[in-house]
Amino acid sequence: MRNFRLDDESGHQEALFSWAAYRTGLMPELQYMYHVPNGGKRDKATAAVLKRQGVKAGVPDIMLPAARAGYHGLYIELKAGENTTTKKQKEWLEYLRQQGYYTAVCYGWQPAAQLIEQYLLHSDELTKEQETVTMR
């Protein structure tokens, strides 16, 4: 893997998808994992266009559409440093959890990679908690 700036979420996101590309041989489902580009800094005109096109605040960063252990798929909100989830992000994660998805907030790409590997390869070890899992 190449070096990534890990001082913000975008660097962690790049590192995670680089890891996923490397691990696709072991976990072919990773080729279907994708990022939902709802965040980021944009000018007002671009933000207005994206909103009309369906961009919604709070949608989790990463989706892995692979069913495991009774879950329809995995949604991850990726955080870096001391960032915390917003009210909208918490609402989305709770809604998706209620709809049968495994949801998590991961602080950094390594905990996200660990969770993805557990989800795909060791789903019998997943906790059946009633809340979104947080991994650091």
User: What distances in angstroms separate CA 97 from CA 58, 77, 80, one per listed residue?
Assistant: 14, 13, 22
In DSSP notation, 24-79 reads: TTT-GGGGG-EE----S---HHHHHHHHHTT--TT--SEEE---BTTBS-EEEEEE
User: Which residue in this structure is represented by tokens 């660990």?
Assistant: 114
User: Which residue in this structure is represented by tokens 């000018």?
Assistant: 43
pLDDT, position 68: 94
pTM: 0.89
- The pLDDT tens digits for 53-92 are 888 889 999 999 999 999 999 999 999 988 899 999 999 9
Report the CATH architecture of 9-135: 3-Layer(aba) Sandwich (3.40)
pLDDT, position 131: 63
pLDDT, position 126: 79
In angstroms, the first-to-last Cα distance of the chain is 21
> Within the chain, which residues score under 50 in pLDDT?
none
> In this structure, what DSSP letter does residue 100 have?
T
Domain ranges of the chain: 9-135
